[in-house]
Amino acid sequence: MPALEGRDLLALLGDQDPGIPVEVEDWERLPAVHRGPAELWALRARLEALVAGPDPPTGVVITHGTDTLEETAYLLSRTLPAEVPVVLTGAMRTSSDADWDGPRNLGHAIRVAAEPASRGRGAVVVFAGRILSGRDAVKLDTFSLEAFGTPHGTPLGTVDGDGVRYTGPPAGSPGGRVRPANLDPRVAIIPLELGDDGRLLELARPRFDGVVVEAFGRGNVPPGVLPSVRRWIEDGKPVVLASRCPFGEVGGEYAFEGGGGQLLALGVIPAGPRASSVARLELIICLAAGLRYGGNG
């Protein structure tokens, strides 16, 4: 149960305290899975007011539950200006555990937020001594202290008690900054199964504005799914093709019935270098901004 306020967390830093002045704002205290589109949008609006205001802070640190941290990081990375560092972190253990990783991660996050070299990098995730782009960070393990990784990218750098080290210069906002009006579009993720006949896709079609299909391998699907995919496209609703594989992207090499090449020819949009969770969020952002796109997104 979430119990500690921001000042409580700072008081527990111990020898992980970097000695950097911090102003605490207790925005909300929710389990990560209790945060829906409304709460996420409100958090983004508060962050925009901070970083784009007349007197922006040097940096911002957000302590966040790990279950949905990747969605928040992606949204902030995609929609906020990149100049002021916004650093998200969390913990895989609780304060009652002997190996609680909260103080280390929070101390590292404060260092990264205050580091001049962090400017221009946008939202990042700091976890287990690594600095990860908010576009790429994904939770890959349910319990490991090193739960977050970048299956579609590489870490930006590292941080420890001796300082912050980046492997290259800031890249800004690859693909540009998007300005959605809200997070209202309804987008489903439908994982496919062996012999899938498209029934779940059909049930979702009248209820959602778009869908991410979690396919096999390079984007191949059972042939029974194709009629429903065609109906989604005929309805003018975007279908994004992702893979259930944690690494790699979908492609168009396979031309058999249900192959990735056939789906792309139908007008299905490849997810590109994104996990299905953030491919869904990307589609929501683009729909809310009135954007339409093709190619590799």
The domain locations on the chain are 6-166, 187-288
pTM, full prediction = 0.95
Q: Coil, strand or helix: which one is 189?
A: strand
Q: Coil, strand or helix: which one is 132?
A: strand
246-259 in b/e form (b: 16+ CB < 10 A) is eeebbbbebeeebb
Task: For residue 138, give the nearest of 283, 293, 277, 295 by alpha carbon.
Answer: 277
198-226 in b/e form (b: 16+ CB < 10 A) is bebbeebbeebbbbbbbbbebbbbbebbb
Q: What is the mean pLDDT of residues 149-163?
A: 96
**pLDDT, position 172:** 66
Task: For residue 221, give the nearest of 203, 247, 246, 239 by alpha carbon.
Answer: 239
Domain 187-288: CATH class, spelled out: alpha beta
Structure tokens at 195: 């012999």
Task: For residue 241, give the nearest of 180, 189, 183, 293 by alpha carbon.
Answer: 189
Contact partners, residue 21, CB within 8 Å, separation at least 6: none
Asked whether 206 and 196 are in contact (CB, 8 A), the reply is no
Q: What would the pLDDT profile of 224-277 be if each residue is shown by its tens digit? A: 999 999 999 999 999 999 999 999 999 999 999 999 999 999 999 999 999 999
pLDDT tier at 53, thresholds 50, 70, 90: confident
Task: For residue 150, give the nearest of 52, 265, 62, 275 by alpha carbon.
Answer: 275
Domain 6-166, CATH: 3.40.50.1170
Q: What would the pLDDT profile of 169-224 be if each residue is shown by its tens digit? A: 998 666 678 999 999 999 999 999 999 999 999 999 999 999 999 999 999 999 99
Can 6-166 and 187-288 be said to share one CATH topology? yes
